[in-house]
Each structure stands twice: as C-alpha cells, then as structure tokens.
Structure 1
Amino acid sequence: MITRRNFIVTTGLAATAVLAAPSFAFSMKKREIGLQLYTLRDELPKDVKATLEIVSKAGYSNVETYGFSIKDQFWGLTPKELKKILDDNGLKAVSGHYNLGSFLYDGNTAELLASIEAAKILKSEFLTVPWVDEPFRKSIDDYKKIASRLNEAAKLCKKEGLKLAYHNHDFEFQKHDQITGYEVLLNETDKDLVFFELDLYWVIHSGNDPLKLFKENPGRFKMWHVKDKDKKNNDFNTEIGSGTIDFKPLFASAKRSGVVHFFVEQENNFAVNSFESIKTSCDFISKNLI
C-alpha cells in the first residue's frame, strides 16, 4: 500500500500510473498475496504451526483454509487454536473452502452452520463452496437447485457478517441443452449475495476466457485462484510464471473482475518441493504482476 509522501510527487506518480494503466489502480491498494492452503495438504496436517511459519516467511499475508469438518475441525485444531497460530505469523484467513456436508443436495444445515461459526472465529470475509459432487450436477435442473441452495446459504452468511462465494473447476463449463452449468449459477444466484471465486487455471483449461467472463459479469469475481499450466503437460500445474498462462492481462483487468483477494494454488508437479514452489510463485507475482 502506498504510504503518505510528498503530495505533489505522490499525486503525479498516481496520476501517471492511472493514465497509463487505469485497471492497475487495484494493485496499488491491494498488494497482499494469498495462498490456498490445499497446496500444502501433505505438510499441513503433520505440523500446522511449522507449515504456517514457512508460508509467512515465503511472503504471503493471506491464506484460504480448507478441510474443516465438525468432527475433525482444522486438522485436529479448533478454529480458535488455528486463529492463534495465524495471528502469531501475521496471516489472515480471509476465505475458507467449506464443503457444507450435504447441504447443497438435501438442505441439511448442520455442517453449514458449523462452518459459518468457524469462519467467524477466524474473522474471514468469505465462506467459499469448493466443489459439487458429480451425481448432483448432471443437468440444468441440478444446477438450478445448487443455485437456489447457494442463495439460501448466502442469506445465512450475510446475517453473520460473512459473504458466500462459489469456486469453479472445469465441469461447470460443460453444456447442458446449449447452456453451461456456470451460466446457470451466474444467472440464478443473487448477484448481491452470491459471489464467485474464479479459478483461472480451470477456466482456461476448459477452453474459456476469463477476460470474457469479466466483461460479461463485471464485479462478480471477488476472488481468484492463480495457478499456472505446465508447458509439457497442461493437465498439470506449475509455479506461477513458469507455465503457459499469461497473467498480465488478467491482473490488468482486476478492477473489471471486482477481485479483492487472490490465492496462489498448486496442486501437483512441484519443481523441487511444495515449499520452494510457493516461494517461487509469490516472488514472481510480487515482482511482475502487482
């Protein structure tokens, strides 16, 4: 974030930057880089404290959690215990992936309510739905039902000071009767209540263009997953800046997207190990994209 400096110098620099690339006004205000902790799913359950220390030292200030359940909480830690470790390392869990149990399918709110409580304790801004099981997304009617459930969950989240988001993979872009599931989710959810976390890799992997989505649905994509496609095997991830995705035009359109948080994620194909990879990705973003 730009600090207060000499008024004339600051104003001149800011004006020049906005005239040259107005969409990059976002990056002047938001320099926080986030990590989806699923990237470290092999390391995190073994030693949460040591892993989060490494995340902080790698340059990240935000994280997105995963894996919460009523039974196991966060890898055996209560939300309060996890919050303490995050605080000790200067990390903020601004979002979390919560599976919500069977809520999307049968409306059972037990896991949803527990997830909301956990997200509140972590002082998160977003509660994010990460996945829809295959048997429940086979038709347009299935997606309409999911959209309706998302609206319901979003209302409960809003009452508790949270925002609901939906994270995509590639299956949402499959067509059913000439319309994609993702179009249904965008059109059938309340745009003031349900937001979207756009996984840039999966959008591109499905053959679609994030920039087109930004143009057609401005402001709805409040979060991104930033992960690159391996040059040799596009089914694999790689460190940011090492693959085939050109992130510069995407970050240049951040304002149109509406993005307020983004998270590095790498699910596989680490160059050396996952800790080295998250550092490489963070360094590239810091030096080249924001």
Structure 2
Amino acid sequence: MITRRKFIVTTGLAATAVWARPTLVFSMKKKEIGIQLYTLRKELPKDVKTTLEKVAKVGYTTVETYGFSTKDQFWGLTPKELKKILDDNRLKAVSGHYNLGSFLYDGNTSELIASIEAAKTLESEFLTIPWIDEPFRRNIEDYKKIAARVNEAAVMCKKAGLKLTYHNHDFEFQKHDGITGYEILLKETDKNLVYFELDLYWVIHSGNDPLKLFKENPGRFKMWHVKDKDKNNNDLNTEIGSGSIDFKPLFEEARQSGMIHFFVEQENNFAKDSFQSIQQSCDFISKNILS
C-alpha cells in the first residue's frame, strides 16, 4: 500500500511522467495483488488459517471471499472469526461473492441481509453477485427482472456502506433477439449504484473484447478477475503469463475501466499444486505488469 508520505514523494518526482502518460497513475499507486479464494476451494475448508497464512506469504494483500451461507458461514467460521485470521495475516477482504439465496428470483431478502452483515463484519468495500441460475436467464425479460432485483440490492448495500457489483461468466454474452444479457444488465441497472466485476477470461472466451467494454462503459468495472487461458485448451485456465491472454494492454486501460481492485483466479489445470500456481501468477503480475 502506498503511504501518504510515499505518495507525496512519488508524485513530486514523477508528475511530468503522469501528465505525459495518464495510465501510469494506476501502476504508480496500485501495487496490491488480490486473489479470489475460490482458487483454493480444496484447501480452505480443510484449514482456513494455514491456507490464508500461505496466501499472505506468497505476496497477496487482498482477497475476495466466496461460499458464505447462513448455515455454515465461511467454511465453519463466523465472519468475526474469519476477520481475525485475515487481520493476523494483514489480508483485507475487499470483496466477497454472495449468492443471496433466492433474492434475485423471488425477492426474499433474508440471505441478502445476512450477506450484507457478513460483508460489513469483514469491512469489505464490495458485495458481489457471482452467478444467475440457468432457469432465470433465458430471455430479455428474465434479464430485466434480474436487473431490477440488482438495483434493489444495490440500494440496500449503499445504506449499509457497501457497493454492489455483478460478476460475469460467458452466458451473459449470448444474444436474445439481438441483444445480450450483459447489455441489458449494463443498461437497466443504476450506474451510480451498480458496478461490475469483469472476468477477463470469460469475456474473451465468449469472443468479446474487454477494451471495447471499457470504452463503451467507462468507470463501471470497479474490479476484475485476472484469469489466463490455456494455450492448448481454451476451456481451461493456466497461471498468469503462461496462457494466451495479453494482460498488459488491459492494465494500461485500467483507469478508463474504473478498476480499483483485481483478483487472480484459477479454477483448474494447476501446474503442480494450487499454491505454486498462485505464486507463479503473483510473481508474473508483480514483475511484468505492475513494475
């Protein structure tokens, strides 16, 4: 994290360069590398404490949680207990993926309220919707209904001091009578309340261009998932820098995107084991993208 003193020194020495190349604002101020903890979904339920200790040791400073439920909380830990482990390792859960129960489909707010309370306990900035079940996203009207629910949730989040974001897969980019579900979500949600977590892998996998989305919707993509595509099998992930996605041009437009946090994610195809993979990804980003 850049301290106030370091910021003053840095800006004093490099003001000319910033004016010459505005994209440098991101690389100068932002050195935090985050991880979506779903990457470690096999390890976390077995030993949360040790897993998070290893995450911090690798060099990650922010995390995005997943898997919260009113029954099991976070892998058997209460939000308060998880917060203690994060604090002990100087990790910050700036965001979390929360399924919100059935709220998106029938308006039941019970799990949404519990999710908001969990996110507040973790002192998160964002509460992120990770997924829409297939029966509820089959046509334009379905997406409009989802957008309306997302707006409702965003109002509740704002009252609690949180921001709401929506995380995409590839299905949102399927067309329904000439328009994609993602276009509907962008258009029908309140741009002052609803933001988006852009999964770069899924955007590219669907045949779309993140840079085009940045240009058409500046400032709405407050977070990214940084996930690489295996060169031999596009349906698989790989360590950042080992795949086919060139992340450098994307990070150069981080300012236009609005991105303030990003998370490494790898769902499969680990080189040796998941900890070596997240180390490799962290090292590549630190040396080749944020340097």
Tell me which interval the TM-score lies in, with the shorter structure as reference length.
over 0.9
What residue is the counterpart of 2:16 in the other structure? 15
Question: Does 1:111 pair with 2:111?
Answer: yes
Give the letter for the 1:189 counterpart. Answer: T
CA contact (8 A) 1:24 1:255 kept: no
CA contact (8 A) 1:24 1:251 kept: no
What residue is the counterpart of 1:234 in the other structure? 234
Q: Kindly state the Cα deviation for residue 23 of structure 1 after the two structures are TM-superposed.
A: 1.1
Q: Kindly state the Cα deviation for residue 192 of structure 1 after the two structures are TM-superposed.
A: 0.4
Q: How does 1:147-166 map to 2 (within 5 A)?
A: 147-166=147-166
Q: How does 1:1-290 map to 2 (within 5 A)?
A: 1=2, 4=5, 11-19=12-20, 21-290=21-290
Classify 1:279/1:180 alpha carbon distance in 2 versus 1 (closer, same or farther; 3 Å).
same
Q: Kindly state the Cα deviation for residue 16 of structure 1 after the two structures are TM-superposed.
A: 2.1
Unaligned runs of 5+ in 1: none
Q: Distance in 2 between matches of 1:135 and 1:160?
A: 30
Q: Distance in 2 between matches of 1:225 and 1:36?
A: 8
Give the letter for the 2:260 counterpart. Answer: V
Classify 1:286/1:156 alpha carbon distance in 2 versus 1 (closer, same or farther; 3 Å).
same
Classify 1:223/1:10 alpha carbon distance in 2 versus 1 (closer, same or farther; 3 Å).
closer
1:191-235 alpha-carbon deviations (Å, 9 max, x no partner): 000000000000000000000000000000000000100011010
Unaligned runs of 5+ in 2: none
Q: Distance in 2 between matches of 1:129 and 1:6?
A: 33
Q: Kindly state the Cα deviation for residue 14 of structure 1 after the two structures are TM-superposed.
A: 3.6
Give the letter for the 1:58 counterpart. Answer: V
CA contact (8 A) 1:2 1:29 kept: no
SS of match in other structure, 1:50: helix
CA contact (8 A) 1:229 1:237 kept: yes
SS of match in other structure, 1:22: coil
SS of match in other structure, 1:283: helix
Classify 1:8/1:138 alpha carbon distance in 2 versus 1 (closer, same or farther; 3 Å).
closer
| TM-score after normalising by structure 2 | 0.96
Classify 1:55/1:179 alpha carbon distance in 2 versus 1 (closer, same or farther; 3 Å).
same
Q: Distance in 1 between matches of 2:104 and 2:214?
A: 26
Classify 1:151/1:45 alpha carbon distance in 2 versus 1 (closer, same or farther; 3 Å).
same
SS of match in other structure, 1:144: helix
Give the letter for the 2:207 counterpart. Answer: G
Q: Kindly state the Cα deviation for residue 15 of structure 1 after the two structures are TM-superposed.
A: 1.8
| TM-score after normalising by structure 1 | 0.97
Aligned residues: 289
CA contact (8 A) 1:239 1:280 kept: yes
SS of match in other structure, 1:148: helix
Q: Kindly state the Cα deviation for residue 29 of structure 1 after the two structures are TM-superposed.
A: 1.1
What is the Cα-based RMSD across aligned positions, in Å? 1.5
Classify 1:117/1:9 alpha carbon distance in 2 versus 1 (closer, same or farther; 3 Å).
closer
Q: Kindly state the Cα deviation for residue 5 of structure 1 after the two structures are TM-superposed.
A: 6.6
Q: Distance in 2 between matches of 1:4 and 1:125?
A: 24
Q: Distance in 1 between matches of 2:132 and 2:175?
A: 16
